[in-house]
Amino acid sequence: MDYIDLRSDTVTKPTPEMREAMAKAEVGDDVYGDDPTVNRLQEMAAKMTGHEAGLFVSSGTMGNLSAVLAHCGRGDEVILGKEAHTFRYEAGGISVLGGVHSCQLPNQPDGTIALEEIKGAIRYDDPHQPITRLITIENTQNRCGGKCLSVEYTHQVAEFAHERGLQVHLDGARVFNAAVGLGVDVKELTAPVDSVTFCLSKGLSAPVGSVLCGTKEFIEKAHRIRKMLGGGMRQAGVLAAAGIVALEKVVPRLGDDHVRARTLAEGLRKNRSLVLDEGTPATNMIFMNLSDEVEMSADEIAEKMKEHGVLAGVAGSRRFRLVTHYWIDGESVKRVIAAFEAVLN
């Protein structure tokens, strides 16, 4: 069956234009730095985010790990949110592989970490404690409903950190969605921080990869770490070619995904068996719970939805996350609304 897949925007397949670009890509050995397509992607990414240099990596996890290890030494500490992807979903890599200690602070409902909380958590040169070196924020904040961190907040965190001799890394896996959601140039969200990772393989629809951006000196350190992690991909221009198409062609149409998410949310709100989070969707993610009257679990409903050709993302025993993306069109939205109606009512 050809499913309508709303489990995540990671399920996106490359567009026809990407497949053509990949087939025709000019390649070289990226470990030697002579893959022209990789070099072009890295330069594009750096320019778009307001940084000096970029580094093509295989995943967002590798990008975040490389960034933390480039910013911090063994025994140093990074401050991040309890709902941060790096804390929850990256297998503890910063500690296992980098010896970096993490201090997890509560995320506010809007995805931010309160500056007062950060201020109280900073640890300086005390032989009994790790030294705080880095603050990490995430935009959009997945676990907080795909919320967008504002330009003002991003600048506040950067200024706060720099005044105290700290660095800031932005896990910007979906930062282009945040920029579209806020109606700003992505540089407004990425230039103030010291480093940023963004994913090509989520809403941007490329098959593989992320880009880490920062100063030239920082990227040189991250490049060495990428090598340690086994990230030298040789003729990676075949993959980078899809990333270039993503930046040139898919970024400008991300707003369509947000529109479809809002249309889907409007339809689902009419279903009394579903309780959508207030303010959802902030971007391309819809978060919702089952009403008290529903006896089935989210897993049971997701199984029944498959019979209607829909794959729904289960985010808890009675909770769903639905994510729109390049391959979800207007007709798909109508079918999803009808499928939930059929299963629940």
Per-residue pLDDT tens digits for 314-331: 999 999 999 999 999 999
Distance CA 188, CA 192 (A): 7
Confidence of residue 82 (pLDDT cuts 50, 70, 90): very high
The DSSP H or E segment spanning 169 is: strand 167-171
Q: Return the exposure string of 318-342: e unless at least 16 CB atoms fall within 10 Å of the residue's CB, then b.
A: bbbbbbbbbebeeebbeebbebbbe
pLDDT greater than 90 at residue 86: yes
Distance CA 48, CA 39 (A): 14
Distance CA 27, CA 25 (A): 6
Residues 146-151 have a mean pLDDT of 97
Residues 214-242 have a mean pLDDT of 97
pLDDT (0 to 100) of residue 345: 86
260-293 confidence digits (pLDDT tens): 999 999 999 999 999 999 999 999 999 999 999 9
56-80 confidence digits (pLDDT tens): 999 999 999 999 999 999 999 999 9
- How does DSSP classify residue 272? T
**Those residues with Cβ within 8 angstroms of residue 221's Cβ, 6 or more apart along the chain or in another chain:** 70
Confidence of residue 125 (pLDDT cuts 50, 70, 90): confident
- How does DSSP classify residue 32? G
> Can you read off the two tokens belonging to residue 138?
């995430």
Go through the domains of the chain in sequence order and give each one's CATH number.
Answer: 4-9+253-344 (3.90.1150.10), 12-251 (3.40.640.10)
**Those residues with Cβ within 8 angstroms of residue 61's Cβ, 6 or more apart along the chain or in another chain:** 89, 90, 91, 93
